[in-house]
Structure 1
């Protein structure tokens, strides 16, 4: 029986498992594994143990490993021969705030029907990343149940701190490098090019996260008694943040663009050929005018240009009613998405120098680090990329494309730098999944066809090269 015949049998098995697979996903989604909030630490442990049991049920030798933070789940099944792979996903999720904007309990998953007729899975973590993780686990389950084994040697690594900085993962990779080493990395934490076209992400931006706190008086002050005479941290911080960009949208931090080359012409033409609909991209979220660098296209800004974004601000009274107070401190969280050879550590230092240079008398700045990662790109000459692209094309009926990614997945860079692996990043998220927002969803088709896609990819990776 040919490899193609076997894959068709496994696809049929995945289809037959559809309802049970959905129930298994729902059970995972009900666990509120919010990694950034200590109140949910026990739930993160429970989620890790749940996944270790799921891996064991699929035939993996699995364990939830303790770390200084949340557990890391590792499963091995190396019984097959051939080129080995390490699959990565994360089980932690973002906080649900503001809860009032959710249509239902974020951790009570349900199927919804959208106005366009699509059926979606509604829950926190449905798209990021529990639904995506389960597409891979269900593909492994189908291979195991139909053939008795997996097509290639596999290790699965599921972490619990991706949404909260991932401080425990780099040392875990160093300590377990020999155990995790494989020939190829696989990640399912990305999305489709459009609703019908699958994609493999070959480059990702890096990230640098900073929190700055401006301190002035040693207590909150009555604005009638101290207004204008006392430094106001809110006003100081607002001026500093406003200085981050010039009128053309460029970041003004000295040295910020060091390591950022112009986009190669061949890559520019390839991206232009994708037919990106900038108006539709912004229109889908109620906007119409690109707000970044005036001389760059939206796709350039998303994939090949760095950013400085203010993600949160606070200072003074923000409760009901009104309170005339000059706060003792004000804070902001600022993230930098990095590209090409930008050094996140140099960016962090430059930002802090930028803030300090703008501090007036009687004010001081405190800085809190929130993780960093360099940008990463992969050479698609590895045959695994072509095989994965062909497998995706066969499943979705549209030619899969290689694209850049605007987000950051630090583990992809760690796989390259610490474990020496190229990484195929294939995911099935849609642009309207509301990731990190209230009412997050994952298309039911993304879950089911995502599972079938991984069945095909695993089968394709197991193929031996043709004899010359």
Structure 2
């Protein structure tokens, strides 16, 4: 572990090098590495090559690795260190549409003054180029002071995160021995809503299902057939309405198997955040929380599973009126999973539930749309407490362990394929407008993010 004076030198080097670091980030942001658009295939590779060359210039053994899709960038420092770690980020970015809502061209990034301080404006600034470059800059400053990179580092930068990561799992499987470490660091997250530094320690899993119920071989006249023939919309509506009881609990048999109650430590941490559910809902024109009775708001969005209807269609919904019994009805339903819930069992229980509502004349068809378990990290690992202390020291505020209502599949992949937990630490803000026009990244996030990683690296050496 580096002593305090040497760490102070690294932090001073980061401060002195900040203008140059911002210029490097601006150059990186100019590459339109949109992974979802075939027209940008060459740009995605250019971004990979840019990263690889940057890492080589710092002394990493780095290479661009081809996949069936966009390439990965893999880099290694010298072996050693108190514990080997794998750092993950992604260099691809979201499409920029609608272009007319951008104040400036999305791939002509620039510094901009705002009432909250200077920001870096451009596509990818926060998601995820600015975030991953905080770690790269921390490594640069470390080498300038110590004469060598931190030992035992592996860097993995992906080029397909924004297009579903189709090549990632095969790549992890094929290169598991090379990529295994004692801990993963993931930067594709953010701070708590009030600007508090945070470590995300649990992520919900996801099961998606599309269900289609069919009855007659065509739409039927409701005067001639109403009350006699099966109505798929009514059948589907009954099945969906029965997914939850009057207390907000999901009714599927075995659904809560594996769901874990909050630890005392997390309960204290989350309570201290002072989350205001009414204020949170007011941002979207609502004010009354619903959900399972007896649960706090943060429990419901971070630690409890959900069943939600994402879309429903059937019959005639155009202008005017058409009195028909539809031939089919369909819905898309998603389940967010927590703890040790099994995605396959949840899917099977949902299908059995729908089938139990089918009259004899109805048929059902299911289409699977993804399935991944929740990820829960073992915070008893001393690295978590050390990182929490490092973040608190840098930001002057007590860092928190938080959950995430969404899913970050890479964390689960690291657990399942590489057998290691992840510390998810990022410096994005709620107002960074990721995936939207006018994306930005606060200069403070970029600067203090790099300083935070330097502090965390010191605890790992």
Scaled to the shorter chain, the TM-score interval is 0.7 to 0.9
Q: SS of 1:209's equivalent?
A: strand
Q: SS of 1:157's equivalent?
A: strand
How far off is 1:426 after superposition? Answer: 1.6
Deviations 1:318-372 (A, max 9, x none): 99x99989998776554322111101121222333344445674654240433x3
How far off is 1:185 after superposition? Answer: 1.5
Q: Does the Cα contact within 8 Å between 1:356 and 1:365 map onto a contact in 2?
A: no
Instruction: State the aligned residue count.
Output: 458
- Taking structure 1 as the reference length, what is the TM-score of the superposition? 0.83
Unaligned stretches of 5+ residues in structure 2: none
Cα distance 1:317–1:423, how it changes in 2: closer, same or farther (>3 A)? same
How far off is 1:374 after superposition? Answer: 1.7
Residue of structure 2 in register with 1:413 after alignment? 412
Residue of structure 2 in register with 1:3 after alignment? 3
Residue of structure 2 in register with 1:456 after alignment? 455
Residues 1:181 and 2:180 are matched in the alignment: yes
Residue of structure 2 in register with 1:283 after alignment? 282
How far off is 1:48 after superposition? Answer: 2.8
Deviations 1:202-260 (A, max 9, x none): 222222233445667889x7999999799987787666555544454333444322222
How far off is 1:102 after superposition? Answer: 4.6
Residue of structure 2 in register with 1:91 after alignment? 91
Cα distance 1:324–1:394, how it changes in 2: closer, same or farther (>3 A)? same
How far off is 1:96 after superposition? Answer: 4.6
Q: Does the Cα contact within 8 Å between 2:209 and 2:332 map onto a contact in 1?
A: yes
Q: Does the Cα contact within 8 Å between 2:269 and 2:400 map onto a contact in 1?
A: no
Residues 1:153 and 2:152 are matched in the alignment: yes
Residues 1:68 and 2:55 are matched in the alignment: no
Q: Does the Cα contact within 8 Å between 1:191 and 1:199 map onto a contact in 2?
A: yes
Question: How does 1:244-263 map onto structure 2 within 5 Å?
Answer: 244-263=243-262
Residue of structure 2 in register with 1:341 after alignment? 340
Give the Cα–Cα distance (whole angstroms) in 1 for the partners of residues 330 and 32 of structure 2. 28
Residue of structure 2 in register with 1:465 after alignment? none
Q: Does the Cα contact within 8 Å between 2:209 and 2:367 map onto a contact in 1?
A: yes
Cα distance 1:290–1:49, how it changes in 2: closer, same or farther (>3 A)? farther
Unaligned stretches of 5+ residues in structure 1: 463-468
Give the Cα–Cα distance (whole angstroms) in 1 for the partners of residues 358 and 439 of structure 2. 40
Residue of structure 2 in register with 1:57 after alignment? 57
Give the Cα–Cα distance (whole angstroms) in 2 for the partners of residues 12 and 444 of structure 1. 17
Q: Does the Cα contact within 8 Å between 1:152 and 1:461 map onto a contact in 2?
A: no
Cα distance 1:64–1:246, how it changes in 2: closer, same or farther (>3 A)? farther
Residue of structure 2 in register with 1:395 after alignment? 394
Question: How does 1:109-188 map onto structure 2 within 5 Å?
Answer: 109-114=109-114, 116-188=115-187
Residue of structure 1 in register with 2:205 after alignment? 206
Residues 1:78 and 2:102 are matched in the alignment: no
Cα distance 1:78–1:310, how it changes in 2: closer, same or farther (>3 A)? farther
Q: SS of 1:336's equivalent?
A: strand
Give the Cα–Cα distance (whole angstroms) in 2 for the partners of residues 322 and 44 of structure 1. 48
Give the Cα–Cα distance (whole angstroms) in 2 for the partners of residues 329 and 112 of structure 1. 53
Q: Does the Cα contact within 8 Å between 1:13 and 1:142 map onto a contact in 2?
A: yes
Q: Does the Cα contact within 8 Å between 2:88 and 2:186 map onto a contact in 1?
A: yes
Q: SS of 1:125's equivalent?
A: coil
Cα distance 1:192–1:356, how it changes in 2: closer, same or farther (>3 A)? same
Give the Cα–Cα distance (whole angstroms) in 2 for the partners of residues 384 and 179 of structure 1. 22
Give the Cα–Cα distance (whole angstroms) in 1 for the partners of residues 164 and 376 of structure 2. 21
How far off is 1:450 after superposition? Answer: 0.4
Give the Cα–Cα distance (whole angstroms) in 1 for the partners of residues 273 and 153 of structure 2. 33
Residues 377-386 or 136-145, more deviating: 377-386
Give the Cα–Cα distance (whole angstroms) in 1 for the partners of residues 38 and 298 of structure 2. 37
Residue of structure 2 in register with 1:25 after alignment? 25
How far off is 1:81 after superposition? Answer: 4.0
Cα distance 1:400–1:356, how it changes in 2: closer, same or farther (>3 A)? same
How far off is 1:201 after superposition? Answer: 1.9
Give the Cα–Cα distance (whole angstroms) in 1 for the partners of residues 182 and 400 of structure 2. 23
Cα distance 1:241–1:137, how it changes in 2: closer, same or farther (>3 A)? farther
Residue of structure 2 in register with 1:466 after alignment? none
Residue of structure 2 in register with 1:268 after alignment? 267
Cα distance 1:438–1:6, how it changes in 2: closer, same or farther (>3 A)? same
Q: Does the Cα contact within 8 Å between 2:211 and 2:364 map onto a contact in 1?
A: no
Cα distance 1:368–1:381, how it changes in 2: closer, same or farther (>3 A)? closer
Deviations 1:366-404 (A, max 9, x none): 40433x322222233322222212221221111222222
Q: SS of 1:182's equivalent?
A: coil
How far off is 1:314 after superposition? Answer: 6.9
Q: SS of 1:56's equivalent?
A: helix
Give the Cα–Cα distance (whole angstroms) in 2 for the partners of residues 388 and 241 of structure 1. 44
Give the Cα–Cα distance (whole angstroms) in 1 for the partners of residues 452 and 362 of structure 2. 60
- Taking structure 2 as the reference length, what is the TM-score of the superposition? 0.84
